[in-house]
Chain A
Amino acid sequence: MSAAGRTGAPVPLAIWVLLLLAPFWLGPVGGYTALGTRVLVLGLAAMSLNLLLGFTGVLSFGHAAWFGLGAYGAGLALKFVALSTPLALLLGTLTGGLAGALLGALIVHRRGIYFAMVTIAFGQVFYYIAYRWNSLTGGDDGLRGFARQDITLGPWHLDIAGNGTAFYYFVLTCFAVAVGLMALLLRSPFGRTLLAIRENERRARFLGIPVELHIWIAFALSCVFISFAGALYALLNNFADPNNLHYSLSGDLVIMAVLGGMRSFWGPLLGAAVFVVLQDYVSSLTTNWMSFVGLLFVLVVLFFPRGLLGILRRQGTA
């Protein structure tokens, strides 16, 4: 019934199998495990953004702000608060989530291009703070001097600090929890009010839905999810830098969502996979890798406005 529910079983099943077995097949096809981890993290970020873009119809074009705040929050927590990976994830998620919730409240009355411009501006404000505040953030050089820590759960010891495959599965678990929550949300009455707002704001209002409140909640939740992704990104790289907040990353996330298909739940993950793999592969051949991504993006938007997953699904049902 909901757009999330129309995915049908085969696509999600295939995605989970591919993700679960990634460390085994990535090597033979010329990839490496950390590339898979990157896809998961950026895919989660693009899916978080898509809660707004694809499912609420709200144009947030500065979402790297909350991603980057999550990354800095996690890095600073490890560096200055405690050597704990879960705490770093929690503090990172709270940093971006709270900032997003507060600033989001200021802009829920804006629409379309105005909303988009203000979100970009927020991102740039945080970018320059990170860029300038050398003593705390390391400025242009980025935040260094922290590293993700192993996790000990009773008798189990997760060697995520040194073992890339273990870290991949740790990130996959985090991804699964976050994505599961998103899917539940979109199938709930609240999630359906977001589709209603996307489809027809006026009708939603005259069904008794306070549109601004619902957009604000969606914005805050999206910020929580994307800053969780940002915190994971800092753990992946053991590094955070101002580019994590920059609007060019915001643009990349929008490209991933649109490329994969923003009306579908899994589209942004596919978009992130294509984007990250192209970036990794083409950038080893030429520094102009972005022009290839750009060309692909233009072709998809022109010929397959429903995105790559839209193509797959059309052929699947035809």
Chain B
Amino acid sequence: MSLLEVQAASRSFGSLVAVRSVSLTVAAGELRAVIGPNGAGKTTFFNLISGAVRPSAGTVRFDGRDITGLPAWRRVALGMARTFQITEIFPELTLAANLRIAVEAAAGLRLRPWLGRRAAAAVARGVEEVLDQAGLTAKAGRMAGELAHGDQRAAEIAMALALRPRLLLLDEPTAGMGEQETYDITRLVRRLHQERALAIVLIEHDMRVVFHLADRIAVLDQGTLIADGTPAEIAADARVQAAYLGHAAEAAAP
């Protein structure tokens, strides 16, 4: 059974149809990319999945359960975590405090007015673990807002990982990054996918990253799903090339 199942989801804002009857499934452990030109509705589609926005029509199922009307914070408890196109972290707290809040939220401690010694130690271990995974251990004491752009992106992914998700939604993780940072993030994502068998949906503009990572690629154009298949199929798809891929696909295709 697929982990995520979107059926004929639509969303319009006034007269603008941002997402038009898109259906998509993601299997457990699958790494899937969503691509498309600017304004294709990729982020709105993400918002429908994660609960930031309700669909005007259609359903979203997670692990067999209909979650179409479920608020975002409840979807997190079911095992869904996401990052944003523009990094969303807690800028005036240390990186360690950022992750601590995520670890405590994931452990169901958010309403606790105190923390015993043992629970506090478990939280601290959780924070260290995620810091280590994201390669940010050395920067734990720094203010999150003062970190370099790439580290902030990695910190946001680390916060999402701290939630121990089954499905991770990454909205342009390499946006605004240089060569080295893009490479680091790509490696991190691939490692997570391989080591944890984590299902990942990735919105990405960098075609090298997309074709390097994805098991399957979905292509959106003007709110409509115009193609869905393996990287090789997508690279060969005439409609996709016509829509926007052009030379990037030819250069990157295996």
Q: A residues near B, CB below 8 A?
A: 1-3, 184-185, 188-190, 192-193, 195-196, 199-200, 202-211, 214, 217
Contacts and interface: CB of A to CB of B under 8 A. Distances in A.
Contacts of A200: 88-91
Contact of B163 (A1, A184, A195, A208): A208
Contact of B72 (A185, A199, A206, A214): A206
Contacts of A1: 94, 96-97, 100
Given A195-B97, A203-B89, A208-B163, 12 more contacts: A188-B113, A189-B104, A193-B101, A195-B90, A196-B101, A199-B91, A204-B101, A206-B72, A207-B76, A207-B102, A208-B77, A209-B110
Contacts of A206: 50, 52, 72-73, 76, 81-82, 88
A139 B52 CA distance: 49
Most buried by B among A1, A192, A204: A192
B79 to A, nearest CB: 10
A203 B104 contact: no
B112 A190 contact: yes
B163 A205 contact: no
Contact of A205 (B73, B96, B109, B115): B73
Contacts of B93: 3, 195, 199
Nearest to B145: A199
A210 B92 contact: no
Nearest to B108: A208
Contacts of A208: 73-74, 76-77, 105-106, 110, 163
A307 to B, nearest CB: 15
Interface of B: 50, 52, 71-74, 76-77, 81-82, 84, 88-94, 96-97, 100-102, 104-106, 109-115, 159, 163
10 contacts: A184-B113, A204-B101, A205-B73, A206-B82, A207-B102, A207-B159, A208-B105, A208-B106, A209-B73, A211-B73
Contact of B97 (A192, A202, A204): A192
Nearest to B83: A206
Contacts of B76: 206-208
Contacts of A210: 71, 73
Nearest to B113: A188
A195 B114 CA distance: 16
A190 B50 contact: no
A184 to B, nearest CB: 7
Contacts of B84: 202
B94 to A, nearest CB: 6
